């Protein structure tokens, strides 16, 4: 398995130099005392935990997997002990309000921690990761009594949380769900139904599990307008907070999966389980989006983790593996062959991984910065702008970063050649673990429809303009900077075209709504490449400034410029092919009758 090392300097570059997080934290309650030194200290402690505790469990957890017996799930050896250390260190409470038992620090610090633990061991990181969505949902929509009963133990990490949406007959189309909620005389509800694909739905790591469940009331309208949200604990809770009898919820089985073997993906059976309504009746889907949006940003981080982990493994191997000679003559004449890192195609793969990891990190941390302002900011105008930008960037981050993370994992195996295809080196596990990321929390296609259909066209382009104006301001500011023209000129052109092409699709969609679905995935990838280009342009500006000021880290900043140039020269041109595809219309997809697909 690749030995994971936290890219400390890379994280510092994004946090301190590109996004100036310390300054950002001064603008939000709870962040006033967070300076660069504190950020680095939190990163260092998180790095120790990620590198020394959970990373060593990654390969063994994959090999052992979870086991199910009589409704109980046992996690791989070491997982439970690692979670106990995680709780004892206070990590679950990092970004929650002090009055709820939290430390009150900004959520973006939690995003940084998620990168560390997620790259080290994604299967393990899902257990505490899913709890954050449950906590945010309870904090936003729960009653004071519900917060006291369920939120405090979740914040402490003594309990974990899940979200229970999917049923066997309905995946994305939640309007078809059948789980029932029957009102009881004491104000509770009996929840009956079966949910599938529930990550961390049952395990042995915490004393209780709080399920956030979608179900229908008896008089609920059909479709998505008739869905309510409920709290259903594994163990019922007494008035004093102690655990009572086992609730009517049990794990019927765990899935045999392609990857993330260390995380239990469960079939959950609810048999008149006692549940409690959270939020208004029949408005459960609205409340659930609090959970979903948290999960989507978290899944975007998985794309970053896939890119970073595969890059680290491939880079180490490419420096050591001897194969053939450089086309320009021996690079290491004292050896029997040259390290494969001298070969242009290997460098193409490595630099692609590097660019997707570094670009993804900037996007993940930028969206988490916006999320801080939305959730905690006090300036109304800044909150509104951040909310608009976050609405646009969340589906881009989730889908683009997981697609490029999966590509990076595939490139990691390719760098190893045949050795990557076998288990010994651990690179194939990265692909298996990454593959689900483009599916769960909304597939790439669903994210693309959300982006183009809801976030862009349904707002008449207002959401998009908020971001393209930001890019325009940056390009205008650098218009007279000769050193930045290699980045600003293509970025400004693409930024202008982004709006024009969106209008073209919108006009066609007025005549045929299938035009939206036909264009959407290519539109999202097109948007993703431009978004990352904007962030790389900012990184290049930071690097140029540091070099002009005679930095002592010239090699680091020159590498930053090199990666930005590689991205603009080798990866950004992909946007042109996505543009051509998204503008090609729906007829080349919809014109063939279903029965004629095969003969």
Closest CA to 214 of 106, 290, 311: 290
Of the candidates 403, 426, 444, which is a domain's last residue?
A: 444
Q: Which of helix, strand or coil describes residue 190?
A: strand
Q: Is residue 10 part of a domain?
A: no
Q: Which residues neighbour 237 within 8 Å (Cβ) at sequence distance 6 or greater?
A: 149, 150, 208, 243, 244
Catalytic residue among 441, 486, 515, 553: 441
Contact predicate 231/146, CB 8 Å:
yes
314 and 440 assigned to the same domain: yes
Same domain for 357 and 306: yes
- Both 293 and 362 in a single domain? yes
The span from the CA of 54 to the CA of 120, in Å, is: 6
Is residue 428 situated within a structural domain? yes
> DSSP assignment, residue 247?
P
What's the CA gap between 336 and 74, in Å, rounded? 49
388 Cβ partners below 8 Å, 6+ apart?
462, 463, 466
In a domain, 361, yes or no: yes
Q: What is the pLDDT of residue 295?
A: 80
Same domain flag for 307 and 422: yes
441 noted as active-site residue: yes
Asked if residue 470 is part of any domain, the answer here is yes
Instruction: Phi first, then psi: give them for residue 200, nearest 5 degrees.
Output: 60, 30
Out of 424, 444, 464, pick the residue that ends a domain.
Answer: 444
315, 417: one domain: yes
In this structure, the answer to whether residues 310 and 390 fall within a common structural domain is yes
Task: Write the CATH number for 414.
Answer: 1.20.140.10
DSSP 8-state code for residue 254? E
CA distance 319 to 461: 47
Indicate the pairing of strand 72-74 with strand 67-69. antiparallel
Nearest to 522 by CA among 582, 588, 585: 582
Specify whether 560 is located in the same domain as 454.
Answer: yes
Quote the CA–CA distance of 205 and 212 in Å, as a whole number.
Answer: 18
What pLDDT score does 224 carry? 86
The pLDDT of residue 431 is 98
Look at residue 189 and give its three-state secondary structure.
Answer: strand
- 213 vs 73: CA distance, rounded Å: 20
**Secondary structure class of 260 (helix, strand, coil):** coil
Q: List the helix and strand counts (H, then E) for the chain.
A: 21, 11
Element (H, E) at 494: helix 485-509
Residues 350 and 467 in one domain: no
Query: Taking the CA atoms of the chain, what radius of gyration do you get in angstroms?
Result: 24
CB contact at 8 A, 227 and 284: yes
**pLDDT score at 241:** 94
CA distance 229 to 191: 11
Q: How many domains would you assign to the chain?
A: 2
Instruction: Give me the tens of pLDDT residue by residue for the chain, a chain 599 residues long.
Output: 689 999 999 999 999 999 999 999 999 998 999 999 999 999 999 999 999 999 999 999 999 999 999 999 999 999 999 999 999 999 999 998 898 889 999 999 999 999 999 999 999 999 999 898 889 899 889 999 999 999 999 999 999 999 999 999 887 777 789 999 999 999 999 999 999 999 999 999 999 999 999 999 999 999 889 999 999 999 999 999 999 999 999 999 999 999 999 999 999 999 999 999 999 999 988 887 776 777 889 999 999 999 999 999 999 999 999 999 999 999 999 999 999 999 999 999 999 999 999 999 999 999 999 999 999 999 999 999 999 999 999 999 999 999 999 999 999 999 999 999 999 999 999 999 999 999 988 999 999 999 999 999 999 999 999 999 999 999 999 999 999 999 999 999 999 999 999 999 999 999 999 999 999 999 999 999 999 999 999 999 999 999 999 999 999 999 999 999 999 999 999 999 999 999 999 999 999 999 999 88
The span from the first CA to the last CA of the chain, in angstroms, equals 45
Domain check: are 362 and 321 in the same one? yes
- Owner of token pair 């296609």: 445
Residue 424 lies in a domain: yes
Which range of residues forms the domain containing residue 466?
450-590
Say yes or no: 361 and 500 in one domain.
Answer: no
Q: What is the pLDDT of residue 291?
A: 67
Q: How many other C-beta atoms are found inside a 10 Å radius of the C-beta of residue 220?
A: 17
Give alpha helix (H) positions in 4-121: 8-12, 21-25, 36-49, 58-64, 79-88, 107-120
Same domain, 357 and 429: yes
If asked whether residues 326 and 392 sit together in one domain, one would say yes
Question: Does residue 73 lie in a domain region?
Answer: no
Q: How far out from the chain centre does Cα 474 lie?
A: 26
In a domain, 422, yes or no: yes
Q: Among the three residues 399, 416, 444, which one is the final residue of a domain in this structure?
A: 444
Please, are residues 262 and 123 in contact by the beta-carbon 8 Å criterion? yes
DSSP secondary structure code for residue 17 in this structure = I
Please report whether residue 409 resides in a domain: yes
Q: Strand locations in 382-452, DSSP E?
A: none
For residue 574, give every residue at least 6 positions away whose Cβ sits within 8 Å of its Cβ, in sequence order, or none.
525, 529
Distance of alpha carbon 250 from alpha carbon 212, whole angstroms: 14
Contact 526, 578 (CB under 8 A): yes
């Amino acid at each position: 398995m690749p030995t994971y090392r936290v890219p400390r300097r890379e994280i510092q570059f994004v946090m301190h130099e590109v996004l100036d997080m310390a300054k950002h934290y001064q603008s939000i309650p709870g962040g006033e005392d967070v300076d660069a030194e504190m950020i680095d200290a939190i990163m260092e402690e998180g790095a120790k935990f990620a590198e020394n505790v959970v990373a060593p469990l990654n390969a063994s957890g994959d090999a052992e997997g979870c086991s199910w017996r009589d409704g109980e799930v046992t996690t791989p050896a070491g997982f439970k002990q690692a979670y106990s250390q995680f709780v004892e260190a206070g990590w679950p409470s990092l970004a929650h309000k002090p009055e709820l038992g939290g430390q009150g620090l900004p959520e973006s610090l939690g995003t940084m921690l998620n990168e560390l633990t997620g790259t080290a061991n994604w299967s393990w990181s899902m257990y505490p990761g899913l709890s954050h969505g449950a906590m945010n949902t309870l904090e936003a929509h729960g009653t004071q009594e519900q917060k006291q009963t369920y939120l405090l133990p979740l914040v402490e990490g003594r309990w974990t949380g899940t979200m229970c949406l999917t049923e066997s007959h309905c995946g994305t189309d939640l309007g078809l769900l059948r789980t029932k909620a029957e009102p009881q005389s004491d104000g509770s509800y009996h929840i009956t139904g079966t949910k599938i694909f529930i990550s961390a739905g049952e395990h042995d790591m915490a004393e209780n599990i709080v399920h956030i469940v979608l179900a229908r009331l008896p008089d609920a309208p059909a479709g998505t307008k008739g869905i309510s949200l409920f709290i259903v604990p594994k163990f019922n809770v007494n008035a004093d907070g102690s655990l009572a009898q086992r609730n009517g919820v049990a794990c019927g089985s765990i899935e045999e999966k392609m990857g993330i073997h260390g995380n239990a993906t469960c079939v959950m059976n609810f048999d008149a389980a006692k549940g409690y309504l959270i939020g208004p009746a029949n408005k459960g889907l609205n409340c659930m989006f609090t959970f979903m949006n948290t999960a989507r940003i978290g899944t975007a981080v998985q794309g970053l983790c896939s890119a970073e982990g595969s890059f680290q493994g491939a880079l180490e191997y490419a420096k050591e593996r001897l194969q053939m000679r450089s086309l320009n003559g021996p690079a290491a004449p004292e050896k029997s062959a040259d390290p494969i890192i001298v070969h242009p195609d290997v460098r193409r793969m490595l630099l692609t991984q590097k660019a997707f990891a570094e670009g993804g990190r900037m996007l993940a941390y930028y969206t988490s910065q916006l999320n801080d302002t939305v959730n905690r900011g006090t300036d109304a105008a800044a909150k509104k702008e951040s909310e608009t930008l976050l609405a646009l960037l969340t589906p881009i981050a989730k889908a683009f970063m997981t697609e490029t993370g999966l590509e990076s994992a595939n490139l990691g195996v390719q760098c190893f050649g045949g050795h990557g295809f076998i288990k010994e080196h651990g690179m194939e596990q990265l692909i298996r673990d990454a593959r689900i990321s483009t599916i769960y929390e909304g597939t790439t296609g669903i994210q693309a429809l959300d982006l183009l259909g809801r976030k862009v066209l349904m707002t008449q382009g207002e959401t998009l303009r908020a971001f393209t104006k930001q890019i325009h301001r940056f390009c205008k500011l650098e218009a007279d900077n000769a050193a930045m023209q290699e980045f600003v000129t293509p970025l400004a052109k693409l930024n202008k075209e982004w709006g024009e092409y969106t209008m073209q699709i919108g006009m066609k969609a007025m005549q045929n709504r299938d035009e939206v679905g036909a264009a959407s995935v290519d539109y999202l990838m097109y948007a993703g490449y431009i978004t990352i280009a904007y962030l790389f342009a900012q990184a290049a500006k930071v690097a140029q400034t540091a070099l002009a000021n005679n930095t002592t880290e010239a090699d680091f900043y020159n590498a930053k410029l090199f990666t930005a140039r590689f991205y603009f020269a080798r990866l950004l041109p992909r946007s042109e092919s996505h543009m051509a595809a998204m503008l090609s219309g729906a007829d080349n997809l919809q014109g063939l009758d279903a029965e004629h697909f095969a003969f």
